[in-house]
Structure 1
Amino acid sequence: MNSHDAEPATPPVSSGELLGFPPEARVLIVNCDDLGMHEAVNVAVIDSIEQGIAASCSLMTPCPAAHHALRLLDDRGHAVRVWLQPGRQRMRDQGLPVVDNPFLDSFSLAVQDKALTYSRLLRDLPAGLSEWAVHPSLGTQETHAIDSGWLVRRTDYEFLTSAAARELLRDQEIIVIDYRLIQRAWTGGTSARPH
């Protein structure tokens, strides 16, 4: 048999499919990083989950406001993660769902016209599982003094909690999930996708 007669390769199964979504589904994790950094960050992270489009957060346990963050999380049931890049490839090698598309860190985006950039990114979101690391904060005067990235954080917060962001998700039929769905698939849960 020559190379022209070979069977076509089976296309890889996307992580979205491994999680129970159809192949064309656009699945997005919007994860708020830096919970625990400062009380203004903590409040913005919780608001971005409860009032905005974010679905999970990453706790920075050695930071000064980590205890405040834990008090805010108590009894809320939000998905929290600690994630290391080497673990991703190991899970992919085992046929488990991980991010299919390039990772987005909000610090890599210009603050000017950030809402327009986020809107374009949502409209152009490819099929499969994507992850965005966003960094919301209220941008209080106190945070201006201790965080040179306060404007990145404030513009993230403004978009995440906006009606426009919620409308775009609905209009574009983008499914936002948190890490619990992936964790269930990793631990052999009978059905990863919630019913």
Structure 2
Amino acid sequence: MGRRLIINCDDFGMYPAVNAGVLSALEEGIASSCSLMPPCPAALEAMSLLRDRPHLPFGIHLTLFCDTPAYRWGPLTARARVPSLLDGAGEFFAPDRVPALLAQARAEEVAVEFRAQIRAVLDAGLSPTHLDWHCLADGGREDLFEVTLALAGEHGLGVRAWLGPARRRLRRLGRPVTDHDFLDSFRLDPETKFLRYAELLRALPEGTSEWAVHPGLADDEARRIDPGWRVRATDHDFLTSPEAAALLAAEDITLVDHRSIVTGGGDDRPNVR
């Protein structure tokens, strides 16, 4: 089987410096796919970039949270139709309030909003490969995971599974899935990230793994609006480094994307550029 790795750039469409960082990581670095956030202010730019590059695989990063208080986004659905998804100010919750959102979100309203986000991508003439979630492990709740599975089934898309229970659920349904728990780069210390990524690549197990990375450029706007800009900048630096490409080659790790999971093969990327 060998060692296969999806390096997926989350948050495409969040703001312009993220778009630039994701594109750089895909075209000049070792990233193998990305996930688009349809509600975000730079989503239209991201969709245009994807239309111009139909070879780039991407998923839909289903979004119920807004990370940046100074740079807001909200639901694509009219707020009156999805009140359980909003905080007391009528906005998407911040990521540090995941429990509050999960305590009140109605599954039928989540389905309405997720469907709107998928429709926005399809109406743009784009062909996503999979669905995943922003700030929620496997949808955050079992019923929200099932909502997402149903939507993926409607559209013939894969689903990212973070943890063992979700992978087992997908296998019972005969749905394609990765083999191992996945990595979220926001859980790594930016100061030691290069060394940690190298350790993780050397220790990568047999089968298919997935990393969710978050590359972005550290321009003035990013530093002003995004508390996570250092995570994004250090991800970008690693993903585009010669050392990363050399390590993939030395370890004989094959880069893949969610098309390889759905189809059972093909669409592998070379591990050296």
Q: Could you report, residue by residue, the CA deviation over 1:39-74 in whole angstroms, capped at 9, with x for unpaired residues?
A: 110011011011101010000000000011011111
Partner residue in 2 for 1:153: 232
1:93 Cα deviation (Å)?
A: 1.4
Q: How does 1:22-171 map to 2 (within 5 A)?
A: 22=1, 25-76=2-53, 77-81=55-59, 82-83=131-132, 85=138, 86=145, 87=149, 88=161, 89=166, 90-171=169-250
1:42 and 1:122 mapped to 2: Cα distance?
A: 25
Number of residues of Structure 1 aligned to a counterpart in Structure 2: 166
Unpaired runs of 5+ residues, structure 2, are 60-130, 139-144, 150-160, 269-273
1:165 and 1:70 mapped to 2: Cα distance?
A: 28
Moved more, 88-97 or 33-42: 88-97
Q: Could you report, residue by residue, the CA deviation over 1:84-137 in whole angstroms, capped at 9, with x for unpaired residues?
A: 523443432134431211110000000112111101110011111110000000
Pick closer, same or farther for the CA change 1:121–1:74 going to 2, 3 Å. same
Question: Which of 253, 259, 273 in structure 2 is aligned with 1:174?
Answer: 253
Instruction: Name the % identity.
Output: 49
Pick closer, same or farther for the CA change 1:194–1:108 going to 2, 3 Å. closer
Partner residue in 2 for 1:7: none
**Preserved CA contact (<8 Å) 2:32 2:255:** yes
Q: Could you report, residue by residue, the CA deviation over 1:129-176 in whole angstroms, capped at 9, with x for unpaired residues?
A: 110000000111111111000000000000000100000000000011
Higher RCO structure (Cα 8 Å, ≥6 apart):
1
**Preserved CA contact (<8 Å) 2:259 2:267:** no
Task: Give the TM-score taking structure 2 as reference length.
Answer: 0.58
Task: Give the TM-score taking structure 1 as reference length.
Answer: 0.80
